[in-house]
Structure 1
Amino acid sequence: MFRTALRNVLAHKARLLMTVLAVMLGVAFVSGTLVFTSTISDAYQKSSEKGYDRVDVAIQPDRKDSDSGNPGEAPKLPQSLLDQAAKAPGAASATGSVSGFAAIAGKNGKLIGEGFSSSGANYYPGTGGKDARYPMKSGRAPQGAGEIALDAKTADRAGYKVGDTVRISVDGPVLKQRISGIFTTDDGGVAAGGSLALFDTPTAQRLYAKPGEFSQIDVKAAPGTSQTALKAAIDKILPKDAEATTGKKLADDEAKIIAQGMDGMKTSLLVFAGISLFVGIFIIANTFTMLVAQRTKELALMRAVGASRRQVTRSVLIEAFVVGSVAGVVGLLAGIGIGAGLRAVMNSAGATVPDGPLVISPTTILTSLGVGIVVTMLAAWLPGRRAAKIPPVAAMNSVHAVATTRSLVVRNSIGGVLAAAGTVLAVTGGSESMLGLGAGLLVIGVFVLTPLLSRPLIAATAPVLRLFGMPGTLARQNAVRNPRRTAATASALMIGLTLITGLTVIAGSVQKAVDKMATDAMKADYVVSMASMTPLSPEVGKKLSSLDQVTAASPFRASGSRIDGDYQSLTGVNGKTIGKLTKLDFTAGSFAGLAGDKVVVDDKTAKSHGWKLGSAFPVTFEDGKQGRLTVSGLYKGNEMIKGIMVDAATLEPHQSDVADMQVMVKTKDGVSTATEESLRKALGDNPAIQIQDKKDISESIAKFIDLMLNMLYGLLAMAVIVAVLGVVNTLAMSVFERQQEIGMLRAIGLDRKGIKRMVRLESLVISLFGGVLGIGLGVFFGWAAGEQIAASMATYELVLPWGRMGVFLLLAALVGVLAALWPARRAAKLNMLSAIKAE
């Protein structure tokens, strides 16, 4: 039986090659994902570990242990604590660190580095006047407020050298600094494509903290002192609002964070790999069903001479095992290439990752081989079991071939129940998990019902197909001749187009909602903020307010507070001008009189606290001082503007570090290129500051949505490619099964062109059938998901992207045309006499 199974595998090379390709693509996706995420994770972890080589114990502010009860940030660490740590038993040295954002402009005036990884820190001279963390490659350490040192990778990218003057921004205003030195570093942010600028310690403290304060103190242990012993000694000198952590724990914690970050990416990619494999299951099941059907008499003869049902099933499973093993090995090798390729793509796109070897773990190898073999054998098990059940005499006479009416009734009943349950859950579920469950049940239900749906939907194409004469009529009849096979083939394409259409509908609807939100909520012409989303200096708002062309400006600044025992962010605005810059729907009160202890609150926050117009409530401000605020207005919040708004002058005395999230600006001349350029010049042509009008805000979100969509389209393209292989496979086997029929058609006058047209039209009909089902289901899922989104986004409304849906339908048609090329050519080349004589 084993030899027979191997012979059967080798006897159908072309057909089984399609199956191998289908499985291989899915396995390659899985193994490529595992290789890529393991490689990136390993590179970041090793880079992180290097960063903690010189840290045995780190002292950091600890908000939890602060006895002040203030809702603001924990106090920074004083110089006195640094001095004590350096003298602690077992300590060799102590280094004070302070850091934050620092945007560096290239020679072209544009921001270099990776935004959030564009950082600044202090150079802390230790033994010999050097900072061991940052060895100087050339030049010297920065001295005084006008100098910085720059990391070597950034200097190379931007073409800077010692002595050059660079434009740098920490929180808005532009600083012109001279490069005093270029250094090397193991900093993970720099290794990942970011930039690092070093200031002398007093300058860094002025920019990122306060004079004499540090955000972290790193202590190096003396020879013979363990990290645990040093930590125990440090713990004795710590104030209540500080904590000590060993370097090993810091490295382990960061490794866990990196691993968790990679887990999210890995899960997302594996979902799409799973979709490709799921689509591949249809092809494998189709292939083995047809291969078994073609060998029915052979299997019956084996049963007649003594083979048991188990042996027949086992022979089919052995074939599947061989196919799955080959597909698993090839898919693993292809996946290693994909993993390396994805890393190269990230590097070429500017998202540089730390250097490191390609990681191919035993788990990746076992998973890839296991997935290939298990998926193939599962898909082949049902056809093998079905073949083994056929009585030998019935198989010899081929009376088993027609599916019974009872089996179709049972199938349609099950499909109807699943589709109905899925629809109900998707519409009334009320949560993402129920929506997901409903979506899954509906897809499975529609798949089960596709043989039933195929007849009326394909029959609807009859008027068009008649235009092609006899080949068109024959194509329609062939497409519905075996509804189960047509259903399985169309379902592979349906799943891919369902996901693509659903995502497109959701993305288009969200984009429209954001556009409407920006238009409805803003009267301001521009919103000014840091490109890195870091705090903006209040000097920027003051500068803008002083310009003649600016008629109104207001900062938006966040300040922590505690209300009813819970943390609550307060938004500071200019009470006099905010009404001219925003367009909010007030249900009670207004912005008038927003000053002193008066606040305006969005309706959801007010409802959660039980507040009404005139309600007064106690508040603990950022600095721990208590006060009482009164509600003077209630408005309908949205994703752009919501929460508790208070006059900025009320908040400022309680803030240790005054900074804005953004500044809204209204100008005399409105939105224009000239106005934007003048605002940019007034702010010193700062590359770290972005000035956006409503259209820019909408386009930035649209750009992000389009980027995500394009990534998802690329990932789902794998499922579409697998679906193409499925159509090719089905048509090739259909041609093989209909050799006699095709020979007869040729004999009675249908020429080669007619045969090709018949096969192509059959392929086109099956593909469009899958496309119509997929687009229909995708629209439904887009609508159902939109109902969930609309609950939290008032401006959300369903938008059907007719243009893109038309493209998707054309894509389905293209799939049909391309998939038919080889089968149609093969059918046309059949020798009519040989075909007529074929069994």
Structure 2
Amino acid sequence: MIRIAIAQIRAHRVRLALTITAVMLGVAFVSGSLVLNDTAQKLFDQQFRTAAAGADLTVRTATAFDSGMGVDVERDPISADVVQKVASVEGVSAAVPVGKGTSRLERDGVDLGAAQLTTWIPEPIGAYPLLAGTAPDGSNEVAVDKAAADALRLQLGDHITLVAERGLDVVVVGLVGFGDADGPPLGMSVLASLPTAQNVLGLGEDVSEILVTTERTVAELQPVLARELGTVMQVATAQDLATAGAESAAANLQMLQVVLIAMALAALVIGSFLIANTFSIVISQRTRELAIVRAAGATGGQVLGSVLLEAVLVGIVASAVGVVLGIVSTFGLRSLARTFGVSIPDGDLVIQPITVILSFGIGVLVTVVAALGPARRAARVSPVVAIRSSAVESRRFRPLRVFTATALLTAGGTIALLPTFGAPMVLLAVGLALALVGFVLLAPVLMRPLVRLVAVAIAQTIPARLARDAAARAPRRTAVTAMALAFGLALMSFVVIVGASVKDATGEQYREVISADAVIESAGQEMLGGVHAAVYDEITALDEVGVVTRLKYGHWKDGDATSALTAVDPVVIGEVAAISMRDGVLSELSGGGIVIAERVADDRGLRVGDQLPMLFARTNAQQLPIVGIMANRVAAALQTDYVISLDTYREHYAEDMDASIFVLAAHGISPDRLSTALEDALTDHPTAQVRDQAAVIAGRTQAVDQIFGLVTVLLAFAMVIAVLGIANTLALSIVERTREIGLLRAVGMSRRSVAGMVQMEAVIVSVISVALGLGIGFAASFAAIGALSTIAPLPAVIPGPQLVLVAAVVACAGTLAGIAPAWRAARLPVLEAIGHA
């Protein structure tokens, strides 16, 4: 049977080519995603290990946790006398003070982005070797990593502006690398002398951290230094900091990883439809051949094993090629992610053995599972029946199949709706998966009436009728082909509807709550801030300004999770925002309490007067009294479920940058005039931007556009597999119908009519796919929107033009997939076709 399996693959290698392509593309998605993830993690590890390689220990202000949501927490600066204290500890050979922090670069009034400003330290302690120019020494000199300089087209001698706590005009005097590379894998680095860094970052005489080297072992010095400095200081090894820093940086890529894995699974699901269809058709065409094998003494189990062996061999070949293709495609995935605003580090690819094994195994497993149904049907046919039968599907469907499909569809739909009523969100995915399985099982039953309905609606010509009969004669085959394309379209319509709904809700919530005439935010839109605190003081003095208030954001630990909070002025915020309270009074925030969103109160059973346990990086565990419960739409507009006062914020956070400043125009001042006055006043703050409501909303929805745009592009690649499925099915069905086509030609049908018949079948399948895909997409998106509405108000939005465009593209692609099979069918020699067995 092994020889037979190998011989069958050789004999049908052309017919299996598209199946191999489908598996290959699916595996490529998986391997590419895993390689990209491993590469990013390894490069982050290298980046932070390189940064800490020259020092044995690092002394920093102690905090309860190091980072939240991928962002390092702000630490209190270290006084200069601590540097002397560290240097005097026995065993310390060097104690190097470092001033570092986040700044923005600006040139000629144009914001160049955020950069890590740090102190220039020569090697071997420093991680930045000088590649060109000189080391920064003067008060207005900096060095920039070469990779960033190339990207920004900066050259030695160029003048730029550093903006952090203070702004400073500097000149680029050097270009540096990072370890063996031209720059860090992610982000930009700017290096300056310690006094310059202290000046720009507003540290005064203080420093950010102290790098320590020792001739003793790290294990010996670390506890000694920790006892000497006390609990207010953290003494960390280079290994600890490298690991923590890499984990924090990698957290920013979690969403991309989820998207890539989800798209890989979607590609494999779509590919499984094609695999199942191909094996069904090929086995159907080999019915007589298999019967002869059975008559010669082969058992049903041997036939089953032979077909599954074919699937294994196909899976091995396709998966091997797919793994290689996925590795190569990682470069494209990295570029694609960057196009949509997701930062991916540069560097050599990291290919782990487990990645190759896992990707290869998934490809083979999916191929075998998809071929299992056709293989079992082949094994169940008796020799006598097989010899006498033609390759025509049974027109009867078992009642058990219909009952099971209906039960799964009903149960899945019900489970998917449960999160709308407060059930766990994971039930949405479980319910949709069950409903999809039920629909796939039920699809062949629905296919004949759908084919007839579509055929009547499209045309009533002879070729159209013949196409209708061919599609209806093989409902399982037609259903599988249509479901592959429908599943891809369902995902795309799901993304379009949910994305449009989220964007619309974000804008509507902001407009309902925020009434400011102008908003000042950083060009980088950092959630933790980016607008210098002096901006608030400067614009308050303007005659055109009536009311002005600021917002700050911060992270805190909520058990094992990290949550964000908003800090406001409870006295003024009500003048620029409609803060709707469900219980309590907002002004009570002045006493040091916290206001929570109603969904948090409902989920956790909290009410006004309860104590909320919170862990802050600087002040450790705290209990804040709940003084109010706000409406969910207010929480959505403020982007957090927790609100504290600015005074409380200053008790627990070291950051002094504003995230947003809301401004109302003075009486009689138009919004345009206010914006002009604000822009004139902020000429010394080039990274602070004045925005109206539309610009703020566009900024908030930009992340939605990026993620959903990336998903749509990746789904378009996955849809290629579905389109190949139509071409493959039609091509194989032509082989099956060769004699039929020959007889039609013999009784007078023209080549054009034969081509039209095959092309019309592609049209019928495409139209059915579009109808089913949109239906499934609509149902899934409404279930998801209902579930998400429990987190924040989310009315459904149907973007008609986008859906029509997506459906039209899918329909056209499916129709075009029939061109090659139609051309081949029209050119079959009549006599050879009639004589085809």
TM-score, normalized by the shorter chain, greater than 0.5: yes
CA contact (8 A) 1:75 1:241 kept: no
CA contact (8 A) 2:146 2:182 kept: no
Task: Give the letter for the 2:101 counterpart.
Answer: G
Q: Provide the residue aligned with 1:818 in structure 2.
A: 816
Give how far 1:628 is off.
Answer: 11
TM-score (norm 2): 0.87
CA contact (8 A) 1:594 1:646 kept: no
* Correspondences of 1:655-666 after superposition (within 5 Å): 658-666=656-664
CA–CA distance in structure 2, aligned partners of residues 179 and 745 of structure 1: 79
Identity %: 29
Select 2:418's aligned residue among 417, 420, 428: 428
- Higher-Rg structure is 1
Select 1:552's aligned residue among 547, 550, 554: 547
Task: Give the letter for the 1:331 counterpart.
Answer: G
CA–CA distance in structure 1, aligned partners of residues 127 and 425 of structure 2: 51
CA–CA distance in structure 1, aligned partners of residues 273 and 542 of structure 2: 67
CA–CA distance in structure 1, aligned partners of residues 376 and 584 of structure 2: 74
Are residues 17 and 154 of structure 1, via their aligned partners in 2, closer, same or farther at CA, if it must alter by over 3 Å?
Answer: closer
Give how far 1:455 is off.
Answer: 2.2
Query: Are 1:396 and 2:364 counterparts?
Result: no
Query: Are 1:501 and 2:496 counterparts?
Result: no
Are residues 88 and 453 of structure 1, via their aligned partners in 2, closer, same or farther at CA, if it must alter by over 3 Å?
Answer: same
Q: Provide the residue aligned with 1:571 in structure 2.
A: 567
Deviates more, 1:257-266 or 1:761-770: 257-266
Q: Provide the residue aligned with 2:240 in structure 1.
A: 249
Select 1:170's aligned residue among 164, 172, 191: 164
CA–CA distance in structure 2, aligned partners of residues 158 and 74 of structure 1: 30
CA contact (8 A) 1:284 1:379 kept: yes
CA–CA distance in structure 2, aligned partners of residues 349 and 598 of structure 1: 41
CA–CA distance in structure 2, aligned partners of residues 654 and 388 of structure 1: 71
Give how far 1:273 is off.
Answer: 1.5
Q: Provide the residue aligned with 1:219 in structure 2.
A: 212
* Correspondences of 1:243-642 after superposition (within 5 Å): 243-257=234-248, 265-343=256-334, 356-398=347-389, 401-403=392-394, 405=396, 407-429=397-419, 430-465=423-458, 467-532=459-524, 533=526, 534-557=529-552, 571-573=567-569, 575=571, 577-585=572-580, 597=591, 601=595, 604=598, 610-611=607-608, 637-641=634-638
CA contact (8 A) 2:454 2:767 kept: no
CA contact (8 A) 2:665 2:671 kept: no
CA deviation string 1:420-476 (max 9, x = no partner): 0101001124222100000000011100000112122222224323x3411122222
CA–CA distance in structure 2, aligned partners of residues 303 and 41 of structure 1: 54
Give how far 1:485 is off.
Answer: 0.8
Give how far 1:360 is off.
Answer: 2.8
Task: Give the letter for the 1:763 counterpart.
Answer: A
CA contact (8 A) 1:623 1:656 kept: no
Are residues 364 and 836 of structure 1, via their aligned partners in 2, closer, same or farther at CA, if it must alter by over 3 Å?
Answer: same
Are residues 328 and 611 of structure 1, via their aligned partners in 2, closer, same or farther at CA, if it must alter by over 3 Å?
Answer: closer
CA contact (8 A) 1:300 1:393 kept: yes
Q: Provide the residue aligned with 2:48 in structure 1.
A: 48
Structure 2 unaligned segments of length 5 or more: list them: 67-72
- Cα RMSD of the aligned pairs, angstroms, is 3.9
Q: Provide the residue aligned with 1:120 in structure 2.
A: 117
CA deviation string 1:69-93 (max 9, x = no partner): xxx9764333232222223232210
CA–CA distance in structure 1, aligned partners of residues 548 and 281 of structure 2: 72
SS in 1 for 2:292: helix
Give how far 1:546 is off.
Answer: 1.7
CA contact (8 A) 1:540 1:683 kept: yes
CA–CA distance in structure 1, aligned partners of residues 255 and 11 of structure 2: 44
Q: Provide the residue aligned with 1:103 in structure 2.
A: 104
Deviates more, 1:27-36 or 1:639-648: 639-648
Are residues 793 and 259 of structure 1, via their aligned partners in 2, closer, same or farther at CA, if it must alter by over 3 Å?
Answer: closer
Query: Are 1:79 and 2:80 counterparts?
Result: yes
CA–CA distance in structure 2, aligned partners of residues 643 and 36 of structure 1: 33
CA–CA distance in structure 2, aligned partners of residues 62 and 601 of structure 1: 28
CA contact (8 A) 2:35 2:330 kept: yes
Are residues 632 and 758 of structure 1, via their aligned partners in 2, closer, same or farther at CA, if it must alter by over 3 Å?
Answer: closer
CA–CA distance in structure 2, aligned partners of residues 95 and 237 of structure 1: 17
CA contact (8 A) 2:272 2:370 kept: yes
* Correspondences of 1:662-681 after superposition (within 5 Å): 662-667=660-665, 676-681=675-680
Task: Give the letter for the 2:724 counterpart.
Answer: L
Task: Give the letter for the 2:162 counterpart.
Answer: I
CA–CA distance in structure 1, aligned partners of residues 41 and 614 of structure 2: 44
Give how far 1:750 is off.
Answer: 2.4
Give how far 1:322 is off.
Answer: 2.7
SS in 1 for 2:664: strand
Q: Aligned residues, how many?
A: 815
Task: Give the letter for the 1:448 counterpart.
Answer: L
Task: Give the letter for the 1:549 counterpart.
Answer: E
CA–CA distance in structure 2, aligned partners of residues 809 and 232 of structure 1: 65
Are residues 737 and 124 of structure 1, via their aligned partners in 2, closer, same or farther at CA, if it must alter by over 3 Å?
Answer: closer
CA contact (8 A) 1:44 1:188 kept: no
CA contact (8 A) 2:759 2:819 kept: yes
CA–CA distance in structure 2, aligned partners of residues 338 and 780 of structure 1: 33
CA deviation string 1:512-570 (max 9, x = no partner): 1111112111211221122331343221012112222222211224589999xx99967
Are residues 235 and 738 of structure 1, via their aligned partners in 2, closer, same or farther at CA, if it must alter by over 3 Å?
Answer: same
CA–CA distance in structure 1, aligned partners of residues 357 and 669 of structure 2: 63
CA contact (8 A) 1:601 1:635 kept: no
CA contact (8 A) 1:728 1:819 kept: yes
CA contact (8 A) 1:27 1:372 kept: yes
Are residues 673 and 477 of structure 1, via their aligned partners in 2, closer, same or farther at CA, if it must alter by over 3 Å?
Answer: farther
SS in 2 for 1:403: coil
Are residues 64 and 838 of structure 1, via their aligned partners in 2, closer, same or farther at CA, if it must alter by over 3 Å?
Answer: closer
CA contact (8 A) 1:74 1:241 kept: no
SS in 1 for 2:516: coil
CA–CA distance in structure 1, aligned partners of residues 162 and 184 of structure 2: 20
CA–CA distance in structure 1, aligned partners of residues 624 and 390 of structure 2: 88
Are residues 501 and 685 of structure 1, via their aligned partners in 2, closer, same or farther at CA, if it must alter by over 3 Å?
Answer: farther
Give how far 1:347 is off.
Answer: 7.3
Structure 1 unaligned segments of length 5 or more: list them: 67-71
Are residues 409 and 815 of structure 1, via their aligned partners in 2, closer, same or farther at CA, if it must alter by over 3 Å?
Answer: farther
Give how far 1:418 is off.
Answer: 0.4
Give how far 1:56 is off.
Answer: 0.7
Q: Provide the residue aligned with 2:70 in structure 1.
A: none
Give how far 1:324 is off.
Answer: 1.9
Task: Give the letter for the 1:777 counterpart.
Answer: I
Q: Provide the residue aligned with 1:731 in structure 2.
A: 730
Deviates more, 1:551-560 or 1:11-20: 551-560
CA–CA distance in structure 2, aligned partners of residues 269 and 582 of structure 1: 38
CA contact (8 A) 2:128 2:176 kept: no
Task: Give the letter for the 2:398 counterpart.
Answer: L
CA contact (8 A) 2:583 2:630 kept: yes
Q: Provide the residue aligned with 2:758 in structure 1.
A: 759
Q: Provide the residue aligned with 1:69 in structure 2.
A: none
CA deviation string 1:180-210 (max 9, x = no partner): 5554444999523533333443453455464
Task: Give the letter for the 2:352 counterpart.
Answer: S
CA–CA distance in structure 2, aligned partners of residues 595 and 13 of structure 1: 73
